[in-house]
A and B are shown apart, each in its own frame.
Chain A
Amino acid sequence: EAEVAQSPRYKITEKSQAVAFWCDPISGHATLYWYRQILGQGPELLVQFQDESVVDDSQLPKDRFSAERLKGVDSTLKIQPAELGDSAMYLCASSHVPGRSEKLFFGSGTQLSVL
């Protein structure tokens, strides 16, 4: 069964360092999302791509976060510099039906700890 692949599974870094997360969506899925889930809260959308284009990044803290999907396939989310409050689970999701919520497939996430 096809899955959304994310790496690394866990990342520990010190504040002010740079970190990057990678996501490979299910093959053929044109829509890709990055979510952040802080402990005790629900996932929150950071950015949505349609192919290589950003559709929605209104919730992305652009002073320190950046996301790219250069060839419209895999994607990288970067934080520079990391802050203590960035500790969270970063989830990637993909869909072959843009906008259809129930068609979202999530990866297992990257757990970030900022010390």
Chain B
Amino acid sequence: DQQVKQNSPSLSVQEGRISILNCDYTNSMFDYFLWYKKYPAEGPTFLISISSIKDKNEDGRFTVFLNKSAKHLSLHIVPSQPGDSAVYFCAASAGETSGSRLTFGEGTQLTVNP
């Protein structure tokens, strides 16, 4: 039972354009969502998060949108840079302090072409 799904295994965009990574979830108990970025041979690093009381959170070039009714969130990167090329994981938990119960999606490989 895949409670967090990232349906696109890969995404390729041109430098300077927008990258949009999508994530869907099925568990209604999830109320805190995060995105992690992973470079090859490194562990995942935290990128941005959003609580279910919000529908948008922005941090520099990164914005996460949450649509609770659709159980869908997306990560927008504008403008995309070649250094953004990495695997992006969506994750969810039931509660902002339930870090041990993170459920991850399968990941999306983003490639930003110069």
Contact = CB atoms under 8 A, between A and B. Distances in A.
Interface in B34-65: 34, 41-46, 49
Interface in A88-115: 91, 93, 95, 98-109
Interface range for B: 20 to 34
Interface stretch (B11-19, B74-82, B93-101): B93-101
B49 A101 contact: yes
B100 A4 contact: no
List 5 A-B pairs, minimum CB-CB distance, nearest first: A42-B104, A106-B43, A99-B97, A101-B99, A48-B100
Given A40-B107, A44-B104, 16 more contacts: A4-B43, A42-B104, A43-B44, A43-B104, A45-B100, A48-B100, A55-B100, A56-B100, A100-B96, A101-B34, A101-B46, A101-B96, A102-B34, A106-B45, A108-B43, A109-B43
Interface of B: 4, 9, 32, 34, 41-46, 49, 89, 91, 93, 95-107
